[in-house]
Structure 1
Amino acid sequence: MALGIIEPKADMQAPGTYLLVDTSQTNIEHPYEHSRLKHGKGKKNNIILVPQPSNDPNDPLLWPTWKREVAFAFLFFNCIIFAACPGPMIAPATVALAIQLHVPIKAVAQLSGYQLLIVGALGPFVSILAQKYGKRPQFLLACIFGVIGTGICIAGFNQNSLTKSYNVLLAGRMIQGLGTTAFESLSVAAIGDMFFLHERGLRTALLVLTLACLSSFVAIVGGTTFEHLGAKTLFVMLLPFQIFGTLGVFFFLPESQYRRAADTPTISSLGELREKGIGNTMTSPEDTEYGHVVSTISKKTFLQDLKITSGTYNEENIFKLLGEIFLHLLNPAVIWVQLVSAVLVNGYFFTGALVGGILGVSAGPMCDFTARRLARKNKGVYEAEFRIPVCLFAVMVFAVGWFTFSWALNHPAKERVVLCAFCYGAVCFGTSVASTSGGLYILDAFKSHSSEIFILQMMIKNFVFYAFSTFINEYAAKGGPGHMCQVFGIVTLCGFATCVPMYVFGKVNRVWVYKIWKGYAGDSKVDV
């Protein structure tokens, strides 16, 4: 048992278990593995690289640092302007826009509600296309649809009748939704393509910030802009940023999906090779160094990176791939991550404090620190479940936020406005911590299926939000906002109790899922 994690009975390597940190015990217990594995550079030279980079200079893990960071910068920027901005930008102007267009308030709410349904329903198809043709075409298509949708929304305010204006605006909002899905569901998976395990924490937390916590900032800017300049200006201001983001994706976000062979050696695989006397399965440290590889493969030029597609990555039938997405719901770990980062902490509904969300970025380094610390205690061996203990911190913050918020709302007073703002920020902070922890766990434990799992998470989150929007106002009015916060607090604490069995039995589940997929689809569908 590794630090409370039950070992599976099956004598096979679990995906998500790697040598990560050099310790004195690592050198003694795994001398062969230690000598063959590539390490980080500089201050990170005690970190074993996971996954192990190939000898191909076109491997995204071996891109120059500037190339990976610029690609991530545009990924981060576009998550803001295509995923975070369109949904909540008109929320503060709901009543005023209903008066301006002479439509019921519910009709204006549908401008965002239908957009969420589009985003959720489109998810499986984006997943299939990404599996078959890579992530770059999906990001480019998302940019194009986002720009077109915003342009249509602008045109909606130039119609000769209010009825036509509303219909055009609705069409534009739905097309904007086509531009949201890819960035909301594939971005975290792209981090796993370009960055090693020990580099993912902060970057994942930043994307969580954009997707779960920036709606409060967008609402503040949107409300002020609408008040002084009108609704049309909101979309006019957004359009040039989206065009800039589109150009950035075209020029600086190459295809990150990579046909990676099983070149990430695990403890058991290297041990088996050692017993068989096979010594040339990997390039030796003398021949290669992280970032400096000997390869006969030619490096792609900047112009070659601009290709829209880079071939087919999966030859399977589209309908089979569609069905496989929902098969992941049989995985207890997938149910768990949906619970802690899609249902209980739905970012679009429960964010209200930008400060809390920004502070939540610390969850990334916190997850990385915890993973390294626990790996050292575990003789240098990393288990994917080492990402979960950070959720304990999220639970404490959620409890303080929800229950204090409930008390403050049940005992209203002018001086408690600041306290309510703090509670809202605490909930937002907990959202970031839990979502970052869950996202990193999926990247580490089920990397080969991460795109499909994040698609499911995005779908469920959007559908849940849409369902909440149909009844939550009436529920709060009937029972009172304080009662509503109390209910959410209780449900949240009960839901996060699942973190305990997930940590204890997670490795057993990983092996079980690995065996199921191996039997169902063969080795090609499973990366250890």
Structure 2
Amino acid sequence: MPLGIIDVTHHERLAGTEMLIGGDRPSVVQDLDLDTSQLKTVMHRGVETILIPQPSEDDPNDPLLWPRWKKETAFFVLFVNTIIFATLPGPVMAPATFALAGILNVPLTKIAVLSGYQLLIVAALGPFVSVLAQKYGKRPQFLFACATGTLGTIICMVGSNQTKYDTLLAGRIVQGLGVTAWESLSLAALGDIFYLHERGLRTAILVATLACMASLVAIIGAVMTERVGWRYMFTASLPFDIAGLLATMFLLPETQYLRSSTIARRAASLAGVSKDQEKSVEMDEGQHQNAEAANPRDAPPRKTYLQSLAPYSGTVYTSKNILHLLSEIFIHLSNPAVIWILLVSGVLISLYVVTAYITSQIWSVPPYNLGVAANGYFYTGGLVGGLCAIMAGPMCDWSARQLAKRNGGLFEAEFRIPVNILGVVFAALGWFLFMWDVEHPRPDGYYLGAFCHGAICFAISVPSTSAGLYILDSFPKQSTEVFVLQMMLKNFLFYGFSTFINTWAGQKGAGTVFRTFGIVSLCLLATCIPMYIFGKLNRKLMHDVHRRFWIFKALA
């Protein structure tokens, strides 16, 4: 048992079990008969570190071999556009919920549904975005998302200027078409561009962007609503949408790439696959034929800048048909590891974000009697908590490396999990103290509530970062589907809560809501213990499902 993890046989290719630390081969590594002599390495923080995944031999178009400036530029576009198209549309109206109900002369629930229907579209579109990204690449999906997100903002501008609820709702739904790709594919794109040892901080930044930067949007939206009017929120958003569209067109090339069979053999060695199985590894998931077409013996020419601007790279990245790819998304639900990821990431984020539906309902009435701007300032706590949570990425990297050193240099994906103890501590502090605060109302309770909101934001960001890294480490070929499942569950929950949470809080009190969310959060985080112990078995289950599940053979 490597540091408490139940082990499995090593004659199967098992992603997430990697030789991470180079140098001498200690006994635990010798027992696995890993051939690391031909693997590419780099010195990282004074330690020889094996590159995972292994880059191609001589193809300058491999995203792993892009110049550093090009990688960081692509990451910057992913980061900024995740804010513009995935984070900004949903919460921009949250602080004004109470005020907009009066302006548009509709119930609070209908204002919440303006975001709810948008998120329903995001969830429903998820499987199709995933399939198209796997088949034809991520760049076409990002471009479509930018175009529809910008169009949706324009429709919202028209609806807000006419004060028409139905037009505003239509614009919010079209905006939803622009959310899906940036919410579900951004993290997967990190795995295309960066090595395992480079992902921690960047994953944490994107997780904080998706989970907590909504707080900054809410603050700005609230101040604008009170000072210049709610209609100008969409007018102010439009230039950012256009800038994001242009940045995607000119600065974010296709990140997906097919590597040759030589690289497949190296990856097999890295994962501990026997020589007799290398051929099956190369043919895994029907990509061998496509990869060999690149002819690794001849160095391909570097694409020109103009060639990289093509909306579609011209490559079909998998030979699987559409029905096959759609089925794979939901077959993953048979794996307990995927269920765990959905619980500690998708559900926990949902519980945090849906509180935006009721915070205006809490602070706009006695004894607080706060205006729209003050409702927005409340989200400062969440913003600070999210920024602090960025440290979760480096912490995951550091703890994983320390455990890998104790394990003879062999990295297990489950080494990403122990950092979640921080999530347990801050989730309990945030939810239950928030419950006490709203059940004992007093004017200065607003500040304690903001602190609790920040603690909760930190609490959900840590396990989300941990789970995101676990996906990239354990399921590199299936990461897009798993992230899409996570996004679908999260947004379906957003929509579901939008239909009743205001009524629930009004009838039972916000304290009951927070108590329930706190208990559920701690129960879900408790699943990290069995996941750490049995996680490697679950990773093997994912492998077995893909090789043996009858529907894959029927659809191939």
Do Structure 1 and Structure 2 share a fold, with TM-score over 0.5? Answer: yes
1:195 maps onto 2:197 in alignment: no
Q: CA RMSD in A?
A: 2.5
Asked whether the equivalents of residues 350 and 428 of structure 1 are also in contact (C-alpha less than 8 Å), the reply is: no
Q: Indicate how the Cα distance of structure 1 residues 271 and 450 shifts in structure 2: closer, same or farther if over 3 A, else same.
A: closer
Distance of aligned partners of 1:274 and 1:63 in 2 relative to their CA distance in 1, 3 Å threshold: same
Higher deviation after alignment, 246-255 or 465-474: 465-474
Does residue 98 of structure 1 match 2:101?
yes
Aligned residue type for 2:62: D
> Of 77, 80, 84, which residue of structure 2 is paired with 1:77?
80
CA distance, structure 1, for counterparts of residue 161 and residue 216 of structure 2: 28
- Residue in 1 that maps onto 2:353: 348
Are 1:456 and 2:458 an aligned pair?
no
Amino acid at match of 1:511: K
TM-score of the superposed pair, with normalisation by structure 1: 0.90
Q: Write out aligned runs for 1:133-144 (5 A).
A: 133-144=136-147
Q: How does 1:244-393 map to 2 (within 5 A)?
A: 244-261=243-260, 262-267=264-269, 272-273=274-275, 296-310=299-313, 311-346=315-350, 347-350=352-355, 352=379, 353-393=382-422
Q: How much does 1:100 deviate? A: 3.0
For the residues of structure 2 that align with 1:2 and 1:270, how far apart are their CA atoms? 15
Point out the more displaced range, 100-109 or 449-458.
100-109
Deviation at 1:42, TM superposition (A): 6.1
Q: Is the 8 A contact 1:23 1:379 kept in 2?
A: no
Contact (CA 8 Å) 1:39, 1:45: kept in 2 or not? no
What is the letter of the counterpart of residue 110 of structure 1? V
Per-residue CA deviation, residues 55-83 of structure 1 (Å, 9 max, x unaligned), is 12211111000001000101100000101
- The 1:450–1:275 alpha-carbon spacing in structure 2 relative to 1, beyond 3 Å, is closer
Q: 1:18 to 1:28 in 2, by over 3 A?
A: closer
1:514 positional shift: 0.4
| Equivalent-residue separation in structure 2 for 1:103 and 1:36 (angstroms) | 67
Aligned to 1:480: 509
Other structure's SS at 2:55 match: coil
Q: Select which of 63, 68, 90 maps to 2:66.
A: 63
Contact kept in structure 1, 2:431 and 2:514, CA below 8 Å: yes
Please say if residues 188 and 439 of structure 1, whose CA atoms lie closer than 8 Å, have aligned partners that are also in contact: yes
Moved more, 337-346 or 359-368: 337-346
% identical equivalent positions:
53
Q: Deviations over 1:186-209 (max 9, x none)?
A: 100000000000111111111111
Q: What SS does structure 2 have at the residue aligned with 1:265? A: helix
| Distance (Å, rounded) in 2 between the aligned partners of 1:247 and 1:170 | 26
Shift of 1:167: 2.2
Match of 2:367 in 1: none
Q: Distance in 2 between matches of 1:76 and 1:342?
A: 19
Distance 1:364 1:45 in 2: 19
SS at match of 2:477: helix
What CA deviation, in whole Å up to 9, does each residue of 1:115-171 have, x standing for no partner?
A: 111111111110111011100000000000011111111122444xx5xx3222221
- Residue 296 of structure 1: how far off its partner (Å): 2.1
Is contact 2:431–2:515 with CA below 8 Å preserved after alignment? yes
Distance 1:456 1:117 in 2: 13
Counterpart CA distance in 2 for 1:444 and 1:28 is 21
2:224 alignment partner in structure 1? 225
Secondary structure at the aligned position of 2:411 is classed as: strand
Correspondence 1:500 to 2:499:
no
Q: Secondary structure at the match of 1:256?
A: coil
Q: Secondary structure at the match of 1:376?
A: helix
Question: What is the CA-CA distance between 1:39 and the residue it aligns to?
Answer: 1.1
Relative to structure 1, is the Cα distance of residues 379 and 452 closer, same or farther in structure 2, using a 3 angstrom cutoff?
same
Instruction: Give the corresponding residue for 1:51.
Output: 53
Matches within 5 A, 1:509-524: 509-520=538-549
- What amino acid sits opposite 1:190 in the alignment? A
Q: Relative to 1, partners in 2 of residues 1:428 and 1:94: Cα closer, same or farther, differing over 3 Å? A: same
**SS of 2:18 mapped into structure 1:** strand
Larger mean CA deviation between 78-87 and 389-398 belongs to: 389-398
Give 1:96 shift.
2.8
SS at match of 2:52: coil
Match of 1:283 in 2: none
Higher mean displacement: 142-151 or 91-100? 91-100
- 1: distance between equivalents of 2:134 and 2:273? 32
Letter paired with 1:194: I
With normalisation by structure 2, the TM-score equals 0.85
Which of 471, 474, 482 does residue 442 from structure 1 map onto?
471
74-83 vs 405-414, which deviates more?
405-414
Deviation string 1:469-508 (CA, Å, 9 cap, x unpaired) is 2222232333332233222222211111111111111111
- Label 1:441 to 1:456 Cα distance change in 2 as closer, same or farther (>3 A): same
1:427 aligns with 2:431: no
Tell me by how many angstroms 1:43 deviates: 3.6
Find the counterpart in structure 1 of residue 166 from structure 2.
Answer: 167
Would you say the 8 A contact 1:50–1:264 is kept in 2?
Answer: no
What residue number does 2:283 align with?
none
Kept after mapping to 2: 8 A contact 1:350/1:427: no
What secondary structure is seen at the aligned counterpart in 2 of 1:33?
A: coil
Q: Which segments of 5 or more consecutive residues in structure 1 lack a partner in the other structure?
A: 277-292
1:117 aligns with 2:117: no
Count residues in correspondence: 504
* Cα distance, 1:100–1:474 mapped onto 2, change above 3 Å: closer
How far apart in 2 are the matches of 1:166 and 1:345? 28
SS of the aligned residue for 1:51 comes to coil
> What is the alpha-carbon distance in structure 2 between the residues aligned to residue 268 and residue 199 of structure 1?
18
Q: What is the CA-CA distance between 1:232 and the residue it aligns to?
A: 2.2
- Partner Cα distance (1:499, 1:423) in 2: 23
Question: How far does the alpha carbon of each residue in 1:172-228 deviate from its partner, in whole angstroms, 9 at most, with x for none?
Answer: 111100000000001000000000001111111111111111112111111110111
For residues 344 and 406 of structure 1, the distance between their equivalents in structure 2, rounded to whole angstroms, comes to 17
- Alpha-carbon separation, structure 2, partners of 1:202 and 1:58: 25
Q: Is it true that 1:128 corresponds to 2:127 in the alignment?
A: no
Question: How many angstroms does 1:20 deviate by?
Answer: 0.5
Conserved 8 A contact 1:338-1:460: yes
CA gap of 1:456–1:2, structure 2 versus 1, over 3 A, is same
More displaced, 12-21 or 33-42?
Answer: 33-42
AA matched with 2:174: I
CA distance in 1, matches of 2:269, 2:105: 67
Measure the CA separation in 2 of the matches of 1:361 and 1:273: 41
Residues 92 and 233 in structure 2, CA contact (< 8 A), matched pair in contact too: yes
Shifted more, 310-319 versus 506-515: the winner is: 310-319
AA paired with 2:49?
Answer: I
What is the distance in 2 between the residues matched to 1:327 and 1:224?
Answer: 45
Q: Is residue 2:206 matched to residue 1:204?
A: no
Distance 1:263 1:422 in 2: 51
In structure 2, relative to structure 1, the CA distance for the partners of 1:94 and 1:480 (3 Å cut) is closer
Q: CA deviation at 1:40?
A: 1.7
Task: Measure the CA separation in 1 of the matches of 2:147 and 2:525.
Answer: 39
